[in-house]
Amino acid sequence: MALQLWETLKEAITAYTGLSPATFFTVLALLWAVYYVATGLFGSSDDHIHQRSMAFEEQMEPLPPPVQLGEITEEELKQYDGSDSKKPLLMAIKGQIYDVSQSRMFYGPGGPYALFAGKDASRALAKMSFEEKDLTGDISGLGPFELDALQDWEYKFMGKYVKVGSIKKTTVPVTEGDASGEASGAAETDTKQTEDGPSQTPVTESEEKSSPADTKEE
């Protein structure tokens, strides 16, 4: 029975397609392979597009309002470099801290300026440098063109982002030893001035009488 069906099928394939059964099944297999590959490609593309749309929707979510931090140290500023998505993304220029969360694609993790986040990058921005040594707020020794470039960056940040604080300046404490040393140094200076000053010898009464100023001309 099965053999009769197979013979009938072969005759039908030859009659309707003009192909031999072997050729017909080869073409059928190739069509199935093409369909499978095409389905896989379009399916993965759809998944990729869906993932990108989800990420875009997350970025389009309204950002929380900037929180004023007041004065914080540079060490505390490092906590806002974007590694924690629950914290705002902050960056400082010339000691002034700005909330740059709305530009996370630039200053957040993976962004082209991600290394500036969580730092006072004044020197790096002025020199357009990406070196670790320039990620500092020290702008001493910069040239006029570099200072102009830094000023342009500051104007841009002032116009686009909200200032949320400033970097606390660290002061070197004066110890008691330094204070006593300054006092002893001042005392030594006064003593030296006294020792080196002109010594005045008392003038006797007889010397005053015989001085040239009191001698009369004869």
110-154 per-position pLDDT tens digit: 999 999 999 999 999 999 999 999 999 999 999 999 999 999 999
**What's the pTM value of the predicted model, to 2 decimals?**
0.54
Assess contact for 164 and 72: CB atoms under 8 A. Answer: no
| pLDDT score for 63 | 76
Q: Which pair of tokens denotes residue 57?
A: 């929707």
Q: Is the pLDDT of residue 100 over 50?
A: yes
CA separation, residue 96 to residues 63, 71, 91, 119, 148 (Å): 21, 9, 8, 11, 17
CA–CA gap between residue 164 and residue 54 (Å, rounded) = 30
101 neighbors 89 (Cβ within 8 angstroms): yes
Residue 67 — pLDDT band, cuts 50, 70, 90?
confident
Percent of the chain at pLDDT > 70 equals 56
Distances (CA, A) of 71 to 58, 65, 142: 31, 19, 26
pLDDT confidence of residue 213 = 46
Highest average pLDDT, of 38-42, 46-50, 112-116, 200-204, comes from: 112-116
Residue pair 127/142 in contact (Cβ under 8 Å)? The answer is: yes
Q: What is the pLDDT of residue 189?
A: 53
Q: Taking 60 as the threshold, does the pLDDT of residue 15 lie above it? A: yes
Q: Compute CA distances 217 → 9, 208, 210, 212, whole Å.
A: 164, 17, 13, 10
pLDDT beyond 60 at 197: no
pLDDT at 207 over 60: no
Mean predicted confidence (pLDDT) in 19-44: 68
Count each helix (H run) and each strand (E run) in the chain, helices first. Answer: 8, 4
3-state secondary structure of 165: strand
Q: Does residue 2 have a pLDDT over 90? A: no
Residue 60's pLDDT is 52
